[in-house]
Structure 1
Amino acid sequence: MPTVALAITDRISLVDVAAPCEIFGVDRSDLADPWYDFTVCGPAGARVGDWFHPASPASLDGLVSADTVIVPASHRLRESPPADLVAAVRAAYERGSRVASICTGAFVLAAAGLLDGRRATTHWMHTAALAARCPRARVDPDALYVDEGRVLTSAGKSAGFDLCLHLVRLDHGATAANDVAGQLVLPPRPDGGRARPIQAAGGEDPVLSALEPWVAAHLHRPLTVGDLARQANMSTRHLTRKFNAITGMTPLQWLLARRIRRARELLETTDECVEQIADRTGMGTAATLRRNFNRAVGVPPDTYRRTFRTGPQVARRFG
């Protein structure tokens, strides 16, 4: 039976533990048997919110033996995370555990050295702080969750549900994950999605935000960095620097992400064939679409379409 351990700290928010408790802590052996052996680990007397006390949580040492460790949001970002929590998370990873964070729990993973050299995300309001705290990480402010193998991170609080469903999908397959999503009346999002509009540190960036609707209207064209720069009324070098500073991506990487997102929407909402979708998204050929889609999403376009279309039926059944 796969084991999941949830690491709590004192006065952690109730919403931050909702996703792992609901998804891993409820017996769903009717969907996949065995389901999960779920344990809450934390200091004695730890409170969830200001009033809820978990009954006899296991010590943080329990993290080390778990197959998957979930680290929810940290509410004390101005301080270093608790040293015993950081040590337990690091020990769990070194033993072979899969470690996942929800929201600002990414700061615990950063303190444990698990984000160095990896792509990661957190709540968009704190991505700049995470990048400053962990300069060797590639912080993506635009992702709902990021899967880097045995290290996974997610954005704001509700993105924890997307991340936990992704873990179920990895462990038990798309059907089980979609069934859980349907029971919770959540949309199945097999790819990490998109967390927010393009934001600069002081708010939404007007230049890059203005590009989004223009690019959306011209995705069928073979756009270049020069095309984007002319539309933004700046040099290609300046545009590239702005994209790197705000999104952590090059303009072409960002453009490809937009093409993939549009391809997902068409796969979800139309019966157009892959060749038609490739043409409408500016990827030219079905082979190019399949290669880029599989690399970005992790499944071929046809598989994605079948997986997504299971979701609404499940939602109707349980909603």
Structure 2
Amino acid sequence: MSSSRHITLKELAAELGVSTASVSNAFNRPDQLSPRLRERILSEASRLGYSGPDAKARSLRTGRSRIIAVVLAETLTYSLNDAVASELLSGVAEVLDAHGHTLLLLSGRQHISQAPGSASMADGFIVYGLMPSMKILADLPAQRPMIAVDFDIAGRPCVHVENEPASYAIARHALTAPPKRPGIINLRLTEMPCNGRITEAHTLLAADQTITRSRLAGFHRALAEQGIDPAEVPMWNVEENTFEVCAPVIEAILDLPDDQRPDLLLCMSDRIALTVLTLAEQRGLRIPEDLRLTGFDGIAEGQYRAPRLTTVRQDSVEKGRIAARMILGLAPHEDRLLSTELILGDTCP
């Protein structure tokens, strides 16, 4: 075979003595072939420099590219390093792999014009998290199916966990031992960026814009039941769920005078709570004697270290699986609400 040009699918099939459908299935529908035949086709394709059926040509021919795009609210670097986001992507990839589809990752922090050309050919879109701008969604092909995860898009099905009941349950548990100075650390709750104390000058995002409002509602319901006025409970906001962004906010909280520093912190993520735990230990504060704290997510890190984190576990992998099944038409296009699990650890026994 001449190396001066790319080998075609038809030529590869003839070289191997198999049908063109078998070659196509080896790349796009692996479940249709025996493992031995698929390995033989892929090995020979690699040797001859054939990288697979052309997505654009296939899209023009069939109207389908077998590409599913996930639009992430954050940068790709952040999303791949974040435990919750990476678990969700793992669940999406698991289903797409099993059904011969390709996963394309897009960041909501880049303009759609900067996205790969294959974005416009995607068969469907899974939108994950609070978008920094709704414009990117407006620029996506409106006729393609779209599923929202941890986010609401008018007229589109969404996948959520029970945020308000879960936050209520963990706050109710934390409040069984009445705190003197409770506090709440939120994750991206204000309309304008705020990495610090929330004041009356800040406007909170609407409930239909972010799941953090549902989590706050759960905290407030539990506080009110215990006779604590939620308006009197100080709140802080962090703009990104990373140690580097959380740390300055939490350091300011922990460095307050003893009679002002919270003795209970309800945190909207495990990453926030784990940052509190690390910085509190550095200051010689005892957990839970001097400070009790709770998280939300149930990431592995919070359960492997000591003291073990009291938190809410959500199944982010299953959220990804459900969204992927829906976008492929393997499950009904309807809103889904997943249950959570309260994990009682050592940080708030």
Q: With a CA cutoff of 8 Å and minimum separation of 6, indicate the structure with the bigger relative contact order.
A: 2
TM-score normalised according to structure 2 size:
0.26
TM-score normalised according to structure 1 size:
0.28
Q: Which structure: greater helix fraction? A: 1
Rg comparison, structure with higher value: 2
Q: Which structure: greater strand fraction? A: 2
